[in-house]
Amino acid sequence: MPPPPACAFASDNAAGAHPLVLEALVDANNGHALAYGDDPWTRRCESLFDEVFGTPVTTLLAVNGTGANVLALAALLNQAEAVLCSDWSHINVDETGAPERVLGAKLIPLPSTGGRISVDAVIDACGALGNPHHAQPGVLSLTQSTEWGTCYSVDEIGALVEVAHARGLRVHLDGARIANAVAALGRGVEGLRDMVVATGVDAISFGGTKNGLFGAEAVVFLERDLAARAVFLRKQVNQLASKMRFISAQFCAMLEDARWLDWAGHANEMARTLHEATAPLLPAGAIHPPEVNSVFPVLPARAAETLREWCFFWDWDTSSGQYRWMTAWDTTPDDIARFAAGVAHVLGS
């Protein structure tokens, strides 16, 4: 069987943009509109975010996910404060130290299980509060869904927010894949409201790029007072796009008619199909059913090399021999059938 398209399972970041997003960009490419967000697409986008969250929020659009996280943290942090996050978090591992460099703030990585941190770990880290020799925990940052393709339950988020708020910390959610987590919960848009609004999260980086957008992210402030400074900080952290309408138009295409949940739900379903197709080919316990759109098989290193020369994917945890296969809004059952045939061939030989 021929291989699936190049990098078909490398990342949802490797996927193109949804055709409806490209259509929306073409429509927005019509004449002049005021720059920096003073345009009808941005107004529409902001009101769509209010509708989706079921409450008035302040939405600041951003250019990329690292920038959105830096902007959110910049708005939530006070001087001499630190960010508590998981040891596997994107802000800790994969942002080239941007939060530390740009914000001049320490990140305090906490031990995690499957990318999730526990209430006890947060309480322990808050032992530093009041000690003038220690950076003061000021923000708790959680990733939903996590870098390990797991999800915090609504109750877990609620409990983490409660201990954080009780100690004076603000809470940020890195929701680069929030759509996948909400789709996995299966309660439609209500799931987002339960997960983010009812739990008391202060601000969320709401991802678009991994869910069919060409390149667009948003920082949504539930605690709107915190957004007052963010309006200025956005320019300072290089996230104020002048032709904002092209970012807004992408989000409008994704948020209208709850498409964001359909697209992420499809990616999640394709990961389940990928798991079903490949689990019988691997030793028991070498791959677990996905919660969202990624699976993490343990593979023999030589087989993994052969397989990814044929269809590329990333290492994940070299200490445990785990790799990552990820699906996207555009993954097809045929891609999976072809990939599984390759896995069968390589592991069988």
Q: Which residues bind ligand PLP (CB under 6 A)?
A: 13, 64-66, 69, 90, 143, 147, 174, 176, 209
Q: Select 254 or 346, whichever has its Cβ closest to ligand PLP.
A: 254
Residue type at 139? V
Give min distance, CB of 157 to ligand PLP, in A: 16
* 54 CB-near residues (< 8 Å, 6+ apart): 189, 193, 197
Q: What amino acid occupies position 200?
A: G
Amino acid at 14: A
Distance, CA of 153 to CA of 330 (rounded, Å):
27
* Least spacing, CB of residue 94 vs ligand PLP, in Å: 6
Q: Looking at beta carbons only, is 147 or 202 nearer to ligand PLP?
A: 147
Question: Which of helix, strand or coil describes residue 107?
Answer: strand
Q: Looking at beta carbons, which residue is closest to ligand PLP? A: 65
Q: How far is the CB of 75 from ligand PLP (least distance, A)?
A: 17
Q: Which is nearer to ligand PLP, 136 or 209 (CB)?
A: 209
Q: Between residues 81 and 217, which has the closer beta carbon with respect to ligand PLP?
A: 217
Closest CA to 280 of 331, 229, 347: 347
Closer Cβ to ligand PLP, 125 or 176, answer by number: 176
Tell me the closest approach of the beta carbon of residue 133 to ligand PLP, in angstroms: 31
Q: How far is the CB of 314 from ligand PLP (least distance, A)?
A: 11
Contact 177, 215 (CB under 8 A): no
Which of 328, 293, 303, 242 has the alpha carbon at shortest distance from 36? 242
- Burial letters 338-348, b for 16+ CB under 10 A, else e: bbbbbbeebbe
Please identify, using beta-carbon distances, which residue of 63 and 343 lies nearer to ligand PLP. Answer: 63
Least Å distance between CB 65 and ligand PLP? Answer: 2
